[in-house]
Amino acid sequence: MKLHGYYRSSASFRVRIALNLKGIEYETIPHHLRKGEQRAPDYLKLNPQGFVPVLEDDGELLLQSMAIIEYLDEAYPFPPLLPGHPADRARVRAIAQMVSCDIHPIDNLRVLRYLRHELGHDEATVQRWYNHWIAEGFAALETFLAGSDQTGRFCHGETPTLADVCLVPQVVNSQNFKLDLEPYPTIRRIHEACLGYAAFEDALPKNQPDAE
């Protein structure tokens, strides 16, 4: 299996965690986003979006981190990253999407670039933007997690799921612009529990072969 990614990409980080949790060996093929390597013609043939990650598995070309992780969970079912009951699966997916749809895309590199270069904003404004969307998203997620008896050691129960796989990279990401995590004790607790496991720790940006 080959994972096209970038050490600092949150979406690649998610897939690395999932692969590690499943115990799947993979080869890392780094594409340096800040140097624009994801826009090379050969890479655009793999993914016309020019985004990482892309996973190659047995002739299949897989795009979009959450779709890749659901694929891994279907093709390599043990250990499962989603619970069994439809409503529980929906809860896990909803938490994953609170991060992956409602926080991460608005703070993506290409959006920050547009703010800087097309709209001419300074770094302080970009930092305020960045932290605004994480803080708004984390406040709602904290209320959601803290108010539910389905929250356990992890976002859902006592084993890691797709929800934790999406949450941890967002928390690591939030440290880039030094967001204060004090108002989110449940998120912090789950994040720390996750980092106690090699599957999460080994997937950290700093532990990747292309880390600078």
Q: Interface residues with its own copies (CB under 8 A)?
A: 48-51, 60, 62-64, 66-68, 70-71, 74-75, 86-87, 89-91, 93-94, 96-98, 100-102, 104-106, 111, 114, 118-119, 121, 125, 129, 132, 137, 139-141, 143-144, 147
Q: Which of 42, 53, 38 is nearest to 5 (CA)?
A: 53
CA 18/CA 68 separation, integer angstroms: 9
* Closer to its own copies by Cβ: residue 47 or 208: 47
CA 141/CA 191 separation, integer angstroms: 13
* Closer to its own copies by Cβ: residue 41 or 196: 41
* Closer to its own copies by Cβ: residue 101 or 195: 101
* Closer to its own copies by Cβ: residue 44 or 211: 44
Please, what is the minimum distance in Å from the beta carbon of residue 143 to its own copies? Answer: 4
Please, what is the minimum distance in Å from the beta carbon of residue 179 to its own copies? Answer: 17
Please, what is the minimum distance in Å from the beta carbon of residue 188 to its own copies? Answer: 18
**Beta-bridge partners for 2:** 27, 56
Cis? peptide before 48, omega within 30° of 0: no
Tell me the two tokens of residue 61: 């070309």
Return the H-helix or E-strand segment holding 60: strand 60-63
